Amino acid sequence: MTRITSFLPRSRDLAARVLQPFQAFLEREAASAVLLVSGAFVAMVWANSPWGHSYHTFWHTPVSFTFGDRVLTKPFLDWIDEGLMSIFFFTVGLEIKREILVGELASVKKALLPVTAALGGMVLPAAIFGALNAGTEEIVGWGIPMATDIAFALGAVALLGNRVPLSLRVFLSAFAIADDLGAVVVIAVFYTKELVMEYLVLSGCIVLGLAFLNGLWIRRTLPYALLGIALWLCILGSGLHATVAGVVVAIFIPARGRYDTDRFLNNISQDLQDFQCPPDGCGQSIMLNAQHLHAVHSMEISCHDVETPLQRLEHALHPWVAFGVIPLFALANGGVTLANVDIASVLTSRLTLGISLGLVLGKPAGILVFSWLAVRLGLAALPDQVSWPQIFGAGVLGGMGFTMSLFIAGLSFSQTMELDVAKIGILMGSVVAGVCGLIFLYSLSRNGRPSSPGS
């Protein structure tokens, strides 16, 4: 027994040393962007390899779920785009709600700058796309260059480390979240082709049920999960895109704990008093002391009760979304077969130029102009230690619209050729925006530009 217990600390230390680099990797903001790029790269290689035909065949394999005599069959790709991406949109909805309650969108004064920036970053790219594609069938894709990929944008700025102020990262995160909210509205309003009223009525009843749970301050997540699945099925049948259900459910997740921080501290203080150890120590295993075990359980309950369901779900889901759902989405949607594509004509097509120019030029120009107007009119103020050139640099990084742009492209075009051309435009625009944004912000830090609002 002594040999076993003496071995346990050493094995735990070894495990900690082995897992520490991996945990540090996951905790970095850039890690999600690295996996996202990797997924897109693998998709491109797979789609253009000698086995390229298997890429589209695999993702379009029918997958069915049976419940009694009811069968729901969809291609594997649709289960990712409409199923797993609903979890992504649910997480986005949680982030939006948190920002509105306690974050950068919590007050009108704080929210106006990132919201105005997001609005400008949506309007101008759509206008550029519309100007280039007016009168063509491709005009339906006007929403593609409006989006910002928050994982890419924050991952890119994380590579700069301390070369950019924290307040600029906060601004970039806030306007990217506001941008996501705008994208959800655009998808729900403008990319809905046909509505089925029966399912819409059922969806409304389920939403009322979610509101009822929230009003009763039900903190267990299982009832919300069950109603969320039912809402997803009803919205799927209604004609709205099923991912809208994720944001709707997130709105009703409780954002209050069972009790406040003061009571939590009082409970923890009382539990810690039970940890009275003799001079020679308490021993290596808590199993030897029932009082200590009871105190630990009590502290565990206290931690659970003070934490809000919103925070708990966001914390639990974010790694799965950032390191699982989004890279899988990139792998399933990022592949473009170039064998039968005339690169010269694609690069000069209105669709490609509308998307890439909207992302590279429209995004930073819209963000900068609308932000400047908000500050000039006295509606908002620049964040501390942030200059106008840095706002422009953040706007350039906002042109990395990969995930949401691909998502909207899939809703816009059913023809494979048009969708492939749109994907090429998205890849071009996102890569150019990312590289230019990093170079620009890096050069600002190298040149020692002042970061005061008046610079």
Give Cβ neighbours of residue 215 (< 8 Å, ≥ 6 apart).
Answer: none
Using CA atoms, how far apart are residues 103 and 96, in angstroms rounded to an integer?
A: 9
**pLDDT for position 367:** 95
Mean pLDDT over the full length of the chain: 82
Using CA atoms, how far apart are residues 66 and 14, in angstroms rounded to an integer?
A: 46
pLDDT of 208 strictly over 50: yes
pLDDT of 454 strictly over 80: no
Using CA atoms, how far apart are residues 162 and 58, in angstroms rounded to an integer?
A: 43
**pLDDT for position 298:** 79
**pLDDT for position 40:** 85
**pLDDT for position 1:** 43
In the chain, what are the domain boundaries? Answer: 32-191+241-257+307-447
Contact 227, 249 (CB under 8 A): yes
Helix (H/G/I), strand (E/B), else coil: 446: helix
- pLDDT bracket for residue 26 (50, 70, 90): very low
Helix (H/G/I), strand (E/B), else coil: 211: helix
**pLDDT for position 272:** 75
Contact 282, 275 (CB under 8 A): yes
The fold adopted by the segment(s) 32-191+241-257+307-447 is Na+/H+ antiporter like fold (1.20.1530)
pLDDT of 7 strictly over 50: no
pTM to 2 decimal places = 0.76
Rounded mean pLDDT, 276-305: 72
- pLDDT bracket for residue 133 (50, 70, 90): very high
